[in-house]
Amino acid sequence: MDVVRIFDTTLRDGEQSPGFSMNTEEKIRLARQLAALNVDVIEAGFPIASRGDLEAVKKVAQEVRTVPIAALARAKKQDVDAAVEALKPAASSRLHVFLATSDLHLRVKLNMTREQALEAITSMVRHGRQHVGEVEFSAEDAGRTDIGFLCQVCRAAVDAGATILNLPDTVGYAVPEEYGAMFTKVREYLGDPDGVTLSAHCHDDLGMAVANSLAAVRAGVRQIECTINGIGERAGNASLEEVVVALSVRKESFGVTTGIRLEELFPTSRMLTEITGAQVAPNKAIVGANAFAHEAGIHQDGIIKNPLTYEIISPQSVGVPARSLVLGKHSGRNALREALRDLGFEASDTELAEVYTRVTALADQSKLVRARDILAIAHEVIRRRPAVIAAESSSAA
C-alpha cells in the first residue's frame, strides 16, 4: 500500500497563531512527543522571524534525532541562510522555501511579476540545495493561482532541485473537488517525475481543511501538512488526528497508509493543550472530551451490547485511557488527581474539589465512572491558563 507522509507543522504554522506561542523548552517537549507519534517530518519554525525562533529550531534539531527537521524560509537569500544555519545540527533536515504565486499576492504583497517570481524560485531552491539535502517548495496561495502559471512554477522548482512540491490552500477557500483537480492538472503537466512528492497544506476557514487534504490524497498527493488539534493561522490547519484516523478507518476507500502510531494521538493532543492552555472543543473529532461519550439511552444500550453499534473508532485505539475508576464514598482525591493527570489536566485544589464533587455525584448514580466521564467533567471545570498573545506574528505559507 502507498504511504502518505505526515508533515507536522504544529511548531511552525500552529505556533504562529495567537495564544499558541511556545518557548524553546516547550517546543522540544512537544517535538519529542511528535517523534513518539512517528510523524515523518517536524517543521520546527521560521528562523528568519526572530533570533529566538532560529535558536529554537536549532535546539529541536539537536534534541530530536529520529525525525527529519524542517525550517521555513521565504524565497530570499537571508531567509534561506538563516534556515540553513538553524538546520545545521540536524541528523536529517529539510529546507522549506516558499513564495506566493497568485496574481493577487504577487501584485499587492510582493510587487513582483510572474517572471521575477520564477527567477526567485529557481535561484533560492538552487541555493538551498547546495546546503541542505532535501528542499521542499511551497507555492503560497496555490489554491488561487492561475493553473497554467502554477504548472510553470512547479516545473521551475523541480528543475532547480526541489523534491517536494507543496500546493497550499493558504486562505482556506478551496472545495475538495477543485483542490483535487488542481493536483491532477499539475501531475499531468509534470508527468509524475521520479522522486518528486506532491504535498497538501490546507486551512480550515470554511471547515474543509481535512476534506480538502483527503481529496488531495485521492488525486495522488503523498504528503499532508497538518497540526495537532488543528491549530494554526486563523481557523487553523487540517487536524493531524482527523486526517490520519480518517485514512485509517477508511483504509479500504483510500488505499493508503501512514506511519502514525494512533495510540499516541490522544496523549499528544493533551500535551499540546497542557502546554498552551487552550483546550479543544468538547465535540472535536477524535480528541474532544465528548468524542466517545454516549448520552442518549438508546446509544448507551447499543454500546453496552456491542460498541460497533455507535462507535467507528475505539477510544483505546487512539490512546484515550481505558482505565475506569470506581469511585465511592471512600475513594480519595489523590486517586482522582492522578486520573486527571493521566488525562492531561493539572487541577488546582479548588478545581479538584469541584471535579470531585461532581464525580462522586455521578458515582452515586452509576458506581463506575469511566475515564471519558471524568474527561467531560474536567473539561467543564478546569480553567484555562491565560492565553499568551504572540508578540510577533509573521505571515507564511
Residues that bind Mn ion (CB under 5 A): 13
By Cβ distance, which residue is nearest to Mn ion? 13
In the three-class reduction of DSSP (H, G, I as helix; E, B as strand; rest coil), residue 235 is classed as: coil
Q: Give whichever of 13 and 134 is closer to Mn ion, judged by the CB atom.
A: 13
C-alpha cell at 186: 499539475
Question: Shortest gap between Cβ of 285 and Mn ion (angstroms)?
Answer: 20
Q: Give whichever of 219 and 226 is closer to Mn ion, judged by the CB atom.
A: 226
Question: Shortest gap between Cβ of 170 and Mn ion (angstroms)?
Answer: 6
Q: Give whichever of 199 and 359 is closer to Mn ion, judged by the CB atom.
A: 199
- The answer to whether 64 and 92 are in contact (CB under 8 A) is no
- The answer to whether 286 and 318 are in contact (CB under 8 A) is yes
Q: Give whichever of 62 and 393 is closer to Mn ion, judged by the CB atom.
A: 393
Q: What is the DSSP letter of 315?
A: G
Cα–Cα distance for residue pair 246/240, rounded to 1 Å:
10
CB neighbours of residue 119 within 10 Å: 14
Cα–Cα distance for residue pair 35/325, rounded to 1 Å:
30
Cα–Cα distance for residue pair 275/269, rounded to 1 Å:
10
Question: Shortest gap between Cβ of 193 and Mn ion (angstroms)?
Answer: 25
- The answer to whether 340 and 332 are in contact (CB under 8 A) is no
Q: Give whichever of 13 and 53 is closer to Mn ion, judged by the CB atom.
A: 13
Question: Shortest gap between Cβ of 5 and Mn ion (angstroms)?
Answer: 17
C-alpha cell at 156: 521551475
Q: What is the DSSP letter of 133?
A: S
Question: Shortest gap between Cβ of 203 and Mn ion (angstroms)?
Answer: 6
Question: Shortest gap between Cβ of 167 and Mn ion (angstroms)?
Answer: 12
Cα–Cα distance for residue pair 110/118, rounded to 1 Å:
13
C-alpha cell at 219: 488525486
- The answer to whether 381 and 355 are in contact (CB under 8 A) is yes
Q: Give whichever of 100 and 158 is closer to Mn ion, judged by the CB atom.
A: 100
Q: Give whichever of 13 and 26 is closer to Mn ion, judged by the CB atom.
A: 13
- Our CA angle for 253, 192, 1, nearest 5°, is 30
- The answer to whether 215 and 246 are in contact (CB under 8 A) is no
Question: Shortest gap between Cβ of 182 and Mn ion (angstroms)?
Answer: 16
Cα–Cα distance for residue pair 255/248, rounded to 1 Å:
9
Q: Give whichever of 14 and 267 is closer to Mn ion, judged by the CB atom.
A: 14
Q: Give whichever of 13 and 264 is closer to Mn ion, judged by the CB atom.
A: 13
According to DSSP, the residues that pair with 237 across neighbouring strands are 203
CB neighbours of residue 130 within 10 Å: 10
Question: Shortest gap between Cβ of 296 and Mn ion (angstroms)?
Answer: 38
Question: Shortest gap between Cβ of 114 and Mn ion (angstroms)?
Answer: 22
Provide CB contacts within 8 A for 363, sequence distance 6+. 326, 327, 328, 331, 369
